[in-house]
A and B are shown apart, each in its own frame.
Chain A
Amino acid sequence: MDNLMAAFDMFFQFHVIIGVFVGVFLGIILGSIPGLTATMAIALIIPMTFTLDPVVSVGLLVGAYKGGNYGGSIPAILLNTPGTPAASATLLDGHELAKQGKSLKALKMAIYASVMGDTLSDMVLILVAPPLAIIALKMGPPEMAALIFLSLLIITTVSGESMIKGLIVGAIGLVVGTIGLDSVTAVRRFGFGFPELDEGISLVPMLIGLFAVSEFLINTESVGMGKVVQFFARSSKPEDNRVSGKEFKACVPPILLSTGIGTLLGAIPGIGPSIAAFAGYAQAKKISKHPERFGKGALEGVAAAESGNNAVCGANLIPLLTLGIPGDIGAAVLLGAFMIQGLHPGPMLFQENIVTVYAIFMALMLANVFNYCIGIFYIRFASKVVLIPKGYIFPAVLAFCFFGAYGFNQSLFDVWIVVIFGLLGYLLRRNGFPLAPLLIAFMLEPILEGAFRQSLLMSGGSMAIFFTHPISGTFLGLTAVGIVWMVIGGVRNARAKAKKPLV
């Protein structure tokens, strides 16, 4: 109770509340601009948080994460272009509604569903995280190494279209993670004569390069090739511009179902909001009395897609806060922000910084309130913002990337890190490699390596320690089952493709 009161004191301060507000505001605006994802929004905001208190900083970033996830639905509905990949399912019905002149109705339903999905998922996080952290505390180095190994396998295999490409990118992330002084012997690894590399690759420049600069470079390819966007005029009938009580009531079951699915999938590392949105959408269609309306402007479709993708936000923080394992790119970027602020997510966070954790929970809930308030106000003039020409947006993004990266350590070396990882991210994305495993593997490498080597020290060099400890043995068993399942799935897919007649 004392901790809760202390958290109240820490949280209910003017600058903290303003921080959450600004985060949500920036997140919604940046997320609503096609091409700027929620992750990119966080990456661009991180440099602004260097000098802020941890709670303000995390509140700002959590707000941006949630706002960005919701903001993506706005261009999906208005322009048939998802602002973020997570909003891809929203456009199926959202844009159809816009074509019928019901864009405001769709935008309102999107915000109701987003906020409901987000809030329920946050409640699950608040209830589940503390007991899970207590269990996690009982894990030693072999268990931790096995768990990270299992998580990395899941993340790398489900994050892209190709499992093997996910694994390759994960391996690259681990390689990049080995750069810097060895934590056990203090021997320099891959320094190449640059003392700046002694502490390893800086996280902020790396993620700015990987996500923001690569996005910039991808967009430079399509200059002059942009598709013509068409706005559909809003209907003047009041009933087409609001969600009636009856319509809202009809959307409650798909929202609850999709939130449940999103929360469950979000708690599993690697399954991002896009998968949750489509899974929620598909299930909502199944339980609907009018499945034939889906894809033709069903309000339940918008509700299911939005509640599904937003429910991932809170659930994603369960493995992050309790185990230190980020569930998706957004959570990985948040993990970086936590670390910059001296907070190390994992079971010890609940022991050493419980007051801060409670304050973060409060920030999450307040971000939902702001998400609703700002969103409901913003949708009235969002059509102006989503049409800002890319020609102005992307040069400004690049400038913020460079200044942000420089400002982190006040080193031009970091600007070069941005350029190098921007190019790497661009080339990987062009060839169908997902970026999430690279970032997550990079961030987990020190923990994995530390736990792995500690385990070997404990056992005198014997690998048997990973199999003789029951929990780590179970994790490794699950990993083996996962690999076998992947191989069987891959073979089946290949056979199915081979059987398809070539037309």
Chain B
Amino acid sequence: MVKFNRDTIAGSIMLVFSLILAFIITPNQVEMHRSVALLALSPRLFCYITAGLLGLTSAILIIASFKKGQEADAQPTSWEPLLRGLFCTALACAYAALAGIIGFFVSTALAMTAFLFYFGVRRWAGILLFLIVVLGFIYVLFIQALKVVMPDGLLY
């Protein structure tokens, strides 16, 4: 059975992406200018060049990873760290989404509490103090000093 290593998978994903970029995304997302007669003026020129470069280098990575064989996969890889990272990415996405709905400061307080819990902080006094210090500093820096206008949320 063919056993794929990480580089083969990464290279294949990049190669597929470069093909999609060249044959689907670029023709659909980059218009051809009517007045363009010269290749140099074409807005698609560099899109194709970069997609080609990505495809070529990805193909080389796949070939190199096949040559390397299974030695890279001699040690079993654990999925747990990746799942932890993806779980935190999902939390960060929820934070970003909530910022526009309930407000930046409230969503920050919720997200920070969740992440503090995730990182093993269990003392409520510590969490509260942390939130007051961090949110207070952010308020002074961004709202008072830099005059940043926060998005309107349901709360604050």
Task: Classify the secondary structure of B's interface with A.
Answer: helix
A403 close to B (CB within 8 Å): yes
Is A339's CB within 8 Å of the partner chain B? no
- When the two chains form their complex, are residues B111 and A457 in contact, meaning their CB atoms are under 8 A apart? no
Neighbour of B38 across the interface among A48, A190, A457, CB < 8 A: A457
Q: Which of A396, A449, A460 contacts B46 (CB 8 A)?
A: A449
Given that A190-B29, A494-B67 are known contacts, is A223 also in contact with B119, CB under 8 Å in the complex?
Answer: yes
Chain A positions within 8 Å of B29 at CB level: 188-192
Residues of B within 8 A of A456 (CB): 38-40
Stretch at the interface among A15-23, A84-92, A233-241, A412-420: A412-420
Known: A168-B61, A456-B38. A419 touches B92 (CB 8 A): yes
Q: Which of A197-224 contact B (CB under 8 A)?
A: 213, 216-218, 220-224
Q: Are B95 and A402 in contact (CB under 8 A)?
A: yes
Chain A residues whose CB sits within 8 angstroms of the CB of B14 once the complex forms: 168, 172
CB-CB contacts of A158-169 with B at 8 A, as 1s and 0s? 000000110110
Within 8 A of B (CB), among A176-191: 177-178, 182, 184-185, 187-191
Q: Does B132 touch A at the CB level, under 8 Å?
A: no
Question: Which residue of A430, A445, A461 contacts B82 across the interface (Cβ within 8 Å)?
Answer: A430
Chain B residues engaging chain A, CB cutoff 8 angstroms: 6-7, 10-11, 14, 21, 25, 29-33, 35-36, 38-41, 43, 45-47, 50-51, 53-54, 57-58, 60-61, 64, 67, 81-82, 84-85, 87-89, 92-93, 95-96, 99-100, 104, 108, 111-112, 115-116, 118-121, 126, 130, 134-135, 138, 141-142, 145-151
- Closest A-B pairs by Cβ, 3 of them: A456-B40, A391-B119, A182-B43
A residues at B contact (CB < 8 Å): 47-48, 50-51, 164-165, 167-168, 171-172, 174-175, 177-178, 182, 184-185, 187-192, 213, 216-218, 220-224, 389-392, 394-396, 398-400, 402-403, 406-407, 410, 412, 415-416, 418-419, 422-423, 426, 430-433, 445, 449, 452-454, 456-457, 460-461, 494
| Extra pairs beyond A168-B54, A175-B54, A213-B92 (14, CB < 8 Å) | A168-B14, A171-B50, A172-B14, A185-B41, A190-B29, A220-B85, A223-B84, A402-B99, A406-B99, A407-B142, A415-B96, A416-B96, A422-B89, A453-B40
